[in-house]
Structures are given as structure tokens and as C-alpha cells.
Amino acid sequence: MNRTRTITSAFAALLLAAAPQAARSQQAGPPLEFNYGIPNADHATVFVAQDLNLFEKAGLKPKFFYFQSGAPLLAGLKSESLDVVTAGLALTFALGQDIPLKFLFWEANNAAAEGLVVDPQGAVKSYQDIGKAKKIGAASGTCAQVALYLMAKKVGVDYAKLDVVNIPAPLFRNSFLSHSIDAGISWPPYSLQLQSEGFPVASFDDDYLEPGGVCPGLTGVRPAFVAAHPEIAERLITVEAMAREAMRKNPQVGVDAFVKHLGVTPEVAKATLDRECCGRVPSFADQLDPASPFSMTSKDHGLVGKLFLASQVLAATKAIPEPIPLDNIRAAVDPTYLQKYVNSHPN
């Protein structure tokens, strides 16, 4: 596949507008080098930033490390081999293991495209039928397990009585074909990929979870690293802002990024982004609004509340020994860097 991407004239203008700030960052010294860990998932803005060289434009030089699951990513954080991470609920496990983190911003809202995928010939037609499922795929310790637990609770089904199979979403297709499962909770882009192959998404998380779902995609840094390099926070937020603007101006850059980095078809890439991009990803204003379901400023609701709820569910399902103390979660959610960025970029 030709990896050369065409940048629209509108986006070229955007880069020219951002160039003075990026240039000031680079004039302060050589690009800041750091190790960046991400699991293999739908990190749209990170992929777009890589493809359009936005990290370099902001004076950053990341070295990327990709992980198949959360466990090795956590090991990298614990050993301080990783400086920056973008991931989902795997980061909740980090807090549970007393690995220090500072969450800078929401990179994605994976709940927007996560959902209940079903065998079209089976008895499950919506989340309300979950008690009729024979075997349900849901990877342990993930957003999928949390969603399934809360779904069962909403319809009055005892989660312990469900026959849950610990299968990650990328393996659902073969599991459906072999009749190992007849339903499963799948995160994106696999939820939309399965739907394109004849296994419909009967219900998305929006149907059975609290507003905003319970599957945040977050970018965080090691506190020691940001203390030693305070510029890293603003530069990462600058990259995120530029990537979001690039996708708003030209959604095709997001589609191309998904095709390139995840190996999905353009149709699946577009369907995934239509569900979770550009309006569904929490804006910076949403994240700073204490009343928003995506708030980073609320001490009890928003992101803090979602992470605490997720930790309670993970403890109830024995994925972690006990819920993470609320104070530990509050200490990790740090909106000060985002607030400083927004204050200095009023437009």
C-alpha cells in the first residue's frame, strides 16, 4: 500500500498556523526524546500524529513500543522503561499496582464503538436478552468485562451465572464461526469489523451504560518524567490538538491511519471513526467541565467516577484483588496541564 498521504490545502494552512509555536519549542533545544507505550488498538489521534509528523513539529521524538496486552505495558511502566502511555482500562491496573501515573487528557472514548456482538442465528437480539446467551466472549480485566457486568446488572441478571469465556475481541470471528460463543463484548475496531462480516452489533455501550460509557482512552505520563521535563505535557496536548484538527478538516487522514496501522478495510475504518471520532471524543472543554461525564476536574464524577466504578467491577469479577482507593484515582487524574494549555490557546 502506498504510504504517501496527501495533505489538503486546509490542513497545510493549519500546519503553517501552528508552525510558530512548534518552532519556538524546537528552538528551546533538541527534540525531547521519550519512550511511548501503546497497546495494539484504535488510537486514532496517535496514528494520525505519527503519519503527519506532528510529534516532530511539536519538538518531540517518541520511540514507540507496541503491546499485545496490558500486562507487558504495565511491566514497562513499573520498570520505568516507558515515559508516556496511551491506553484504556489497563491503566487502572497500573494504579492498582501502585504504579504512579498522571493522566493528561482523554485520547479516545472507546465506549462509543464498543458493543454487544451476536450470532445472527442466536437468541440474543439486544442487551436485554443477555441472559439467553449460551456462551459470552469477554476478555478478563478489560472494558468488555466491565461492560458485560454492568449490562447484566441493568437487566437483573446475576453475572456469576453467565457462562463467560475469556476471549479477546480480535479472536471473536473464529469463536463465532466455531460456535464457541454466541455473543461477545467487542471493542473497536473489531466490533465494526465483525458487523461488516455478518455478526451484528446488537447494542452499543450507549444503550446500557451510564452517559459516556466506562471505557476511557487516556494519555498519561510518569510523574517523575514530567517533573524532569515539564514541557512534555504541553507538547503532547499540542500534538493531540493538531491531530484532532487534522481529522476534523479531512476525515480521510483518520481512515488512512486506521487502514495502515490496524490492517482493517477502509469501510471498517470509516465506520469505526463515524462511531467514535469527531464529536464523540471528549473535547478539551468537556474534559475541563466539572458537570461533564468526561470531566477531569470533578473529584467524584466524570473520569474519576468512571475509573472508580471500573475498579469496583474488576474487583467484583476477581480481575483485581480489591477496588482502587478513590484518593489514588483522584491523585492520578491531573487536569492542570490541560487547563494551562487551554488558557494559553483561547482559540
pLDDT digits (tens, 9 = 90+) for 224-281: 999 999 999 999 999 999 999 999 999 999 999 999 999 999 999 999 999 887 667 8
pLDDT for 278: 66
Residue 295: partners with Cβ closer than 8 Å, 6 or more residues away: 286, 287, 288, 289, 301, 302, 303
Task: Give the domain CATH number at 136.
Answer: 3.40.190.10
Residues of the chain with pLDDT under 70: 1-28, 69, 278-279, 347
pLDDT for 92: 86
Its pTM stands at 0.87
Instruction: Measure the CA–CA gap between 277 and 264, rounded to whole angstroms.
Output: 16
143 inside domain: yes
Starting at the earlier edge strand, list the strands of the sheet with 164-165: 164-165, 136-137, 183-186, 115-118, 201-204
pLDDT tens sequence across 105-141: 999 999 999 999 999 999 999 999 999 999 999 998 8
177 inside domain: yes
pLDDT for 26: 41
Q: Please, what is the Cα angle at 111 between 110 and 117, to 5 degrees?
A: 105
pLDDT for 90: 84
pLDDT for 281: 84
Instruction: Measure the CA–CA gap between 20 and 282, rounded to whole angstroms.
Output: 27
Domain total in the chain: 1
pLDDT for 19: 42
Instruction: Measure the CA–CA gap between 214 and 90, rounded to whole angstroms.
Output: 13
131 inside domain: yes
Boundaries of domain holding 166: 112-208
pLDDT for 277: 74
337 inside domain: no
Residue 237: partners with Cβ closer than 8 Å, 6 or more residues away: 104, 105, 337, 338, 341
Judged by DSSP in three states, 62 sits in: strand
116 inside domain: yes
164 inside domain: yes
pLDDT for 53: 98
Instruction: Measure the CA–CA gap between 108 and 229, rounded to whole angstroms.
Output: 25
260 inside domain: no
73 inside domain: no
DSSP classification of residue 333: B
Cell 488510537 sits on residue = 43
Starting at the earlier edge strand, list the strands of the sheet with 84-87: 60-67, 32-39, 84-87, 216-221, 102-109
